[in-house]
Amino acid sequence: MELSLCPLREWTINDPRKVVIRVDDRAITRAELDSKVELLRDCFREQGVQKGDRIIAPVTEALDAVILIFACLRSGWVYCPVNPQMPDDQKQQYCQKVGAQWSLKEKINGVVRLEWPCQESRKSENLQSLPLDITAICDLIATSGTTGVPKAVSHTFSNHIYSAEGSQQCIPLTEGDSWLLSLPLFHVGGFGIVIRCLLAGAEMVVDTQKTPLNRLLQRERISHISLVNTQLHRLLVKGAEVLDESGLKCILVGGGFASPELVSQVQKKGIKILTTYGMTEMSSQVCTGVPGFVQSGVTSGKPLPHREVTINGSGEILVRGRTLSPGYFQRGALLPLVDEQGWYHSGDLGQWIDDQILVIGRIDNMLISGGENIHPEEIEKALLSIDDIIMAVVVSVKDDEYGQRPFAFVQTESGSLNEVFTKQKLAGTISRFKIPDRIRLLPVEQLPSGLKPNRQTLQSLADRLTNS
């Protein structure tokens, strides 16, 4: 057992009146958050929750999630967040996989539903430091973009501490800073922001009113923000001038792709913009840095401290380090995820550009068309370079002549699509044999609730459209 002190409690003892999280117009101090955490601990213990128990939490409210995260850390419970839009049957199977004893807000067969305390908070006096076992499993986070039942990736608090410490070397964060919780807290990217802020003593900013980002930056004091390419595109289209007047110090762009044009636009405004490559198995960030511009897009930075990265002879990215998950959790056991040398095989193809990583695409996404290898990610990047397209997903469909052919779904800012024009634009950026036979608008119901669209669902839709 390795012990560390609870960062929230230490900051509360140090300066209890300092704001730790802002939710819309409401400011919550460290003392208030600490009190809410203790109230929840007492409430759940009274309902029978014990050390080591796993709590399924469909995350809908960021503040509640933050309270639950620290209640779990202090009590030795395991935080198991899930996307609230996960289908009921999948959620039921996932609960069985992780062996959840308790659930929040939803009734799940075989799992006891917990009641959230009615009381807002209570006054706490004579606060003492709280030791945490940082080597115990503290969360199970479902992998994104999978078909069927997601894998449950385990983490210790030690994993998250080293992840935050490595990030701090590249993205300095202080007590005077504030980070917008713009990523879902059932995703490791959102979870990582919480830990980074709590360790640094920085504020978290939550917007529950779905305020457009340009207006939010005018209204709130935000120094750091994590975005995917789609969010960055919308910000620059709807209010690029806001960046000139905001207090932004750093924009971190992840989610698999960053448009060179958008990155360049932000850089010209003098704001630090970094690209990152990460994964749930490595507790969020693996590589981060000022992007280098290459023909196929931008690089995703260099390995952060406490991580190691190599590329094997097949071009696959392998990772290891102190941020690496202890294993996949399934029915009470941890399943190892590394090879004999301790490397985790990411399933991503990449190459080194000087000391930075360039991610090419997923091995299992690659299709072979007429004997030629095609990486859907290359086509997606080309589509995203076209004005008006803000999201793109390319899948493969069967073809009698070529074996497989690419099929593209796109989301546009205007809501309309000129397929012929789009193909003409692609012809100037990628080889003709890589241009999708069909390009269709991404159905509204398939817009992602997390960071990425569900590729498997879109694969099934493409198959149906092709055969109809």
pLDDT category at 106 given cuts 50, 70, 90 is confident
Read out DSSP for 360-420?
EEEGGG-EEETTEEE-HHHHHHHHHTSTTEEEEEEEEEEETTTEEEEEEEEEESSS---HH
Q: Identify the structural domains of the chain with CATH numbers, from first to last.
A: 366-467 (3.30.300.30)
Residue 108 · residue 98 · CB < 8 Å: no
pLDDT at 315 over 50: yes
Q: Kindly report which listed range (95-109, 195-209, 321-335) carries the lowest average pLDDT score.
A: 95-109
* Strand ranges in 246-355 using DSSP code E only, listed in sequence order: 250-254, 272-279, 284-289, 293-294, 297-298, 302-303, 307-311, 316-321, 328-330, 333-335, 344-353
% residues pLDDT > 70 (the chain): 97
SS (H, E, C) 108-127: ECCEEEECCCCCCCCCCCCC
Average pLDDT over residues 39-68: 95
Per-residue CA distances from 80 to 52, 65, 320, 386, 448 (Å): 12, 10, 23, 39, 20
Average pLDDT over residues 452-460: 82
Average pLDDT over residues 242-247: 83
Question: What is the dihedral angle through the alpha carbons of 448, 449, 452, 458, rounded to the nearest 10 degrees?
Answer: -40
54 CA to centre of own chain: 21
Average pLDDT over residues 37-48: 96
Can you read off the two tokens belonging to residue 209?
A: 């009113």
Query: Which of the residue ranges 81-85, 99-103, 424-428 has the most confident prediction, judged by mean pLDDT?
Result: 99-103
pLDDT category at 102 given cuts 50, 70, 90 is very high
Kind plus residue range of the DSSP H or E element containing 20: strand 19-23
Helix axes 376-384, 419-426, angle to 10 degrees: 110
* Strand ranges in 74-217 using DSSP code E only, listed in sequence order: 78-82, 102-104, 112-114, 131-133, 137-142, 152-156, 178-180, 203-206
pLDDT at 85 over 90: no
Number of helical (H) and strand (E) elements in the chain, helices listed first = 13, 30
Residue 12 · residue 144 · CB < 8 Å: no
Average pLDDT over residues 238-248: 81
What is the tens place of the pLDDT at every residue in 152-179? 999 999 999 999 999 999 999 999 999 9
pLDDT at 314 over 80: yes
Q: Kindly report which listed range (77-81, 258-262, 283-287) carries the lowest average pLDDT score.
A: 258-262
* Beta bridge pairs of residue 80: 56
379 CA to centre of own chain: 23
363 CA to centre of own chain: 20
Question: CB-based burial of residue 366 (10 Å sphere; 0-12 exposed, 13-18 middle, 19+ buried)?
Answer: middle
Name the nearest CA neighbour of 76 among 95, 50, 58: 50
Can you read off the two tokens belonging to residue 263?
A: 């990155």
Ramachandran sector of residue 241 (left: φ over 0; alpha: ψ -120 to 50; beta: rest): alpha
At residue 4, what is the residue type? S
Average pLDDT over residues 134-150: 83
pLDDT at 387 over 90: no
Please state, in angstroms and rounded to a whole number, the distance separating the CA atoms of residues 292 and 288: 11
pLDDT at 145 over 80: no
Q: What is the pLDDT of residue 121?
A: 67
pLDDT category at 449 given cuts 50, 70, 90 is low
pLDDT category at 94 given cuts 50, 70, 90 is very high
pLDDT category at 87 given cuts 50, 70, 90 is confident
Q: What is the pLDDT of residue 251?
A: 95
Average pLDDT, the chain: 91
pLDDT category at 146 given cuts 50, 70, 90 is very low
Q: Kindly report which listed range (129-133, 220-224, 383-387, 445-449) carries the lowest average pLDDT score.
A: 445-449
Please state, in angstroms and rounded to a whole number, the distance separating the CA atoms of residues 337 and 349: 18
